Amino acid sequence: MRKIKIIADSCADMTREMLEANDVDYAKMSSFCNGVESPAITTWGADEVHEFYEGMRKGNRVTTAQVSVEEFNNIFTKYINEGYDIIYIGCSLKQSSSVSTGTVVASKLMEENKGVKIACVDSRNSSLGIAMLVIEAAKMVKEGKSFEEIVDGVVALRKKVNQFVTVLSLTTLKKAGRVKGPAAFFGNLLGVKPILISDADGEQTAYKKVKGRQNSFNEIVSMLKERMNGNENQTVYVAHSDCSQEEVDLLVSIIKEKINCKDIVVGFIGPIIGGSVGPDTVGIWAYGDEVTFKVGDVK
């Protein structure tokens, strides 16, 4: 019986600690800063994070690319040769084509390596929403669940990942073409902070607007608490793109005040998601009621 390896991608924003604690790996995407390509590493430190986002504040143009065929070939082949079947949990297909590319590469490798199983699963999420599913999949591996049970479990859980993100403005998202729905609903009114969610299909969509930065923090925490629907004894995940420590501490204090959670994990928004949302973005994630909202539901 072959072992099972869980693999994410750069959009999962998993820290070194998350990767090591759960014995998972990730396929790297690429980011381009003013045309210069770099692998999208998520195991970066605070100084590197600050340098990246400070460059964006100063006008650096950041674009991104999905996981390449070569990268998938390399990482899949590595673990096949080590005796693993592979479950890749990737960024929402509404935001990246990496799962589609991975599926093509996986089909070829399974044909060449009879008996090997590779599943490429659309997480319908991004950032720590993917990480949550990867962590649960890793737990199922440790529990001895079968390949099929893990894939089915992830597909069922992805509907229950709830994300609330607030950005400083929609400018970077508009440039990247990442936000769907009625962006004009928000405009660029002074002091208005948009809130984004991943909808039922995994599309990033503008969902609500709040006046003022601190009010936006209070609102995303209240919205998450409501969606958790009493199931608060769990980890709440926080990620940010170089927010000040004061802002991070403020958000954590609001979470502690409003949600009786088991613990709070804080990480950084990586270069792929960060290239789309821009500096000073912050998001929170937890499991809750099934997400049914879709882009077209906002009028």
Confidence (pLDDT) at 179: 56
At 170, the amino acid letter reads L
At 292, the amino acid letter reads T
Query: Nearest CA to 182 among 155, 209, 202, 163?
Result: 209
CA torsion, points 73, 75, 79, 80, in degrees to nearest 10?
0
Give the Cα separation of 119 and 86 in Å (integer).
Answer: 6
| Domains of the chain, first to last | 3-48+64-158 (3.40.50.10170), 160-297 (3.30.1180.10)
Determine the Cα angle at 239 with ends 282 and 36, to 5°.
90
Confidence (pLDDT) at 189: 54
Alpha helices (runs of H) in 126-269, residue ranges in sequence order: 128-142, 147-157, 171-176, 213-228, 245-258
**Count of beta carbons in the 10 Å neighbourhood of residue 176:** 16
pLDDT in tens, the chain (299 residues): 799 999 999 999 999 999 999 999 999 999 999 999 999 999 999 999 999 999 999 999 999 999 999 999 999 999 999 999 999 999 999 999 999 999 999 999 999 999 999 999 999 999 999 999 999 999 999 999 999 999 999 999 999 999 999 988 666 666 655 555 545 445 555 567 888 899 999 998 888 888 899 999 999 999 999 999 999 999 999 999 999 999 999 999 999 999 999 999 999 999 999 998 899 999 999 999 999 998 877 54
Give the Cα separation of 220 and 164 in Å (integer).
Answer: 6
